[in-house]
Chains A and B, each alone.
Chain A
Amino acid sequence: MEVLVQQLINGVTLGAVYGLIAIGYTMVFGIIGMVNFAHGDVFMISAFIALIVFLAVTALAGLSGGVVFLALLAALIVSMVITSLYAWTIERIAYRKLRGSFRLAPLISAIGMSILLMNYVQVAQGSRNKPIPPVMRDTIPLFEQNGFVVAVSYKQVLIIAVTALLLGLFWYVVQKTPLGRAQRACEQDQKMAALLGINVDRTISITFVIGAALAAVAGTMFLTYYGVVVFSDGFVPGVKAFTAAVLGGIGSLPGAVLGGLLIGLIETLWSAYFSIDYKDVAAFSILAVVLVFMPQGLLGKPEVEKV
């Protein structure tokens, strides 16, 4: 029981990070039908930007509690902005021109972009783990049972709270604002959206930017949680977030969040009760099983629409 509760807390934290990345995959897929393989690397870059900002601020101002909090906030904001610029640029130079061509072209370009970003960071930042000083190590004990203290760390509270807040904001933008409406319109019928005066290219750019900004939130959280980042960190979390998007139903925003939470939970619970080595196998097996029975994913759109 106590182990279960602890793992649930850990799983939700990890799931929040996956869910935030998964939204970027699912939105881009929804609007241009392309799997943006470089999205995981964009996430990795965002963690590096957060790292650099955090180290710079704490080098200047020390590591006292208040400063750490402000440094994290600065890292988050700067990372969101710069990562968005990266994503915007990638879309402009690597994807836009290929949009009208055969289906595999942008996909191949995305894989190339992923390799390029990874190598670029490897060259610029080296191949070793880059750490930040340990921060926010305090925990809030919840209850004790059988000598095991179930606790939630400040980091976890922060990650879950920030994620929930931003998801709420994001949901509002997509559902209630003209921007979100334009975005959904482009997803459903780009030609018609253009006939109604929507600038489709710009809307697609904005989609990339929103996805990247959320990935930057995930990247900053990831850095805070694990304390280190390395150039290859885009790959495994990226693949898992993509898995989360597919599990939840690619194209569905609530699906991406649900998928992220499920993958996070499966991973931590499996590590706790079975074998930590096989945690990824477990996550992917469950994906396979779900897709056999529900090819649309858990919250995917029904294929059939009256036209």
Chain B
Amino acid sequence: MTMIAEQGAPAPAAARTPLLAVRGVKTYYGNIIALKGVDIDVHRGEIVTLIGANGAGKSTLMMTIFGKPQAREGSIVYDGRDITRMPTHEIARLGIAQSPEGRRVFPRMSVYENLQMGASVNNLAWFDEDLEKVCTIFPRLRERLQQRAGTLSGGEQQMLAIARALMSRPDLLLLDEPSLGLAPLIVRQIFEVIREVNAREGMTVFLVEQNAYHALKLAHRGYVMVNGLITMSGTGRELLADPQVKAAYLEGGHH
């Protein structure tokens, strides 16, 4: 396979030490193994996407990076620091943010308070400025700042979950299925947002997606996970062109 730089973005230098390095990570739920030795690199400035079937272990990996659950074997190094055994709230303070599977907005807090929670790692230092920014990205949130998050529509909750993650000004943004359950127009908008924060602010993004076609087009690089193991990796374009990936994840799935 040839290396093709995607969408004119600088090709990430493989020689640099990665911002996030996952090495041989094994995660268990009780006695059941969910991750069977996962290796993943995410370099500064990249958009990396992870695709895989339901139950492959994608969300488990996202949560393992945050130590919930903790990896039983292997190591996770972020920005030169081993975070494998670090408590979750300390990991969050290193500049990683996650919009997790299932959105998990705080239902009985207002949209505004949810965003405050997102900025709490910085003690709301840039709150007003960042509030303005996310409200520009998602104008629907601006109209609903005082509404209880539990009463937002599914799509609005997803926007809030992403906005909340952005409020901490992360260096590394983890997104677990940000397009789930959204109308095509909103999906496109969310992918556009990811592209923009990456291009304009140099934010590194690690993304789990069912929407493999869009995700691989957006990403610099991608990984395919099957049954708790990484089975394939390459640039977004390489994976898009791969017959196996096409058959398993792209069939009829792109408009």
A141 located at the interface, meaning its Cβ lies under 8 Å from any Cβ of chain B in the complex: no
Among A193, A196, A197, A301, the most chain B Cβ lie within 10 Å of the Cβ of A196
> Are B120 and A195 touching (Cβ within 8 A)?
no
> Are B168 and A197 touching (Cβ within 8 A)?
yes
A213 located at the interface, meaning its Cβ lies under 8 Å from any Cβ of chain B in the complex: no
> Are B108 and A197 touching (Cβ within 8 A)?
no
A155 located at the interface, meaning its Cβ lies under 8 Å from any Cβ of chain B in the complex: no
> Are B150 and A191 touching (Cβ within 8 A)?
no
* Given contacts A197-B168, A198-B89, A305-B107, A181 and B120 within 8 Å (CB-CB): yes
A192 located at the interface, meaning its Cβ lies under 8 Å from any Cβ of chain B in the complex: yes
- B50-78 contact mask (Cβ, 8 Å, vs A): 1 or 0: 00000000000000001010000000000
Q: Which stretch of A47-55, A85-93, A182-190, A216-224 is in the interface?
A: A182-190
A-B contact count (CB 8 A): 77
> Are A305 and B150 touching (Cβ within 8 A)?
yes
Cross-chain contact of A188 among B107, B116, B152 (Cβ < 8 A): B107
B6 located at the interface, meaning its Cβ lies under 8 Å from any Cβ of chain A in the complex: no
> Are B152 and A181 touching (Cβ within 8 A)?
no
A65 located at the interface, meaning its Cβ lies under 8 Å from any Cβ of chain B in the complex: no
> Are B92 and A195 touching (Cβ within 8 A)?
yes
Whole-angstrom CA separation of A182 from B121 in the bound complex: 11
* Residues B83-106 near A (CB distance < 8 A): 87-89, 92-93, 97-98, 100, 102, 104, 106
Closest chain A CB from B165 CB (angstroms): 9
Cross-chain contact of B104 among A181, A191, A200, A301 (Cβ < 8 A): A191
Whole-angstrom CA separation of A233 from B93 in the bound complex: 45
Main secondary structure of the interface of A (DSSP, over half): helix
* Given contacts A178-B123, A185-B117, A306-B150, A195 and B98 within 8 Å (CB-CB): yes
Cross-chain contact of A192 among B104, B124, B151 (Cβ < 8 A): B104
Residues of B within 8 A of A193 (CB): 117
Closest chain B CB from A226 CB (angstroms): 38
Q: How large is the interface on B (under 10, 10 to 19, 20 to 34, 35 or more residues)?
A: 20 to 34
* Given contacts A194-B68, A194-B88, A188 and B109 within 8 Å (CB-CB): yes
> What is the number of residues of chain A that contact chain B, defined by CB distance less than 8 Å?
21
> Are A181 and B116 touching (Cβ within 8 A)?
yes
* Given contacts A178-B123, A188-B107, A307-B107, A196 and B100 within 8 Å (CB-CB): no
Among B89, B98, B121, B164, the most chain A Cβ lie within 10 Å of the Cβ of B89
Closest to B103 in A: A307
> Are B92 and A306 touching (Cβ within 8 A)?
no
Whole-angstrom CA separation of A193 from B106 in the bound complex: 9
Residues of A within 8 A of B117 (CB): 181-182, 185, 193, 196, 198
Whole-angstrom CA separation of A197 from B120 in the bound complex: 7
Whole-angstrom CA separation of A71 from B201 in the bound complex: 60
> Are A191 and B68 touching (Cβ within 8 A)?
yes
**Which 7 interchain pairs have the tightest Cβ spacing?**
A197-B92, A197-B121, A194-B88, A192-B104, A305-B150, A305-B107, A188-B106
5 contacts between A and B (CB under 8 A): A185-B109, A195-B100, A196-B164, A197-B89, A197-B168
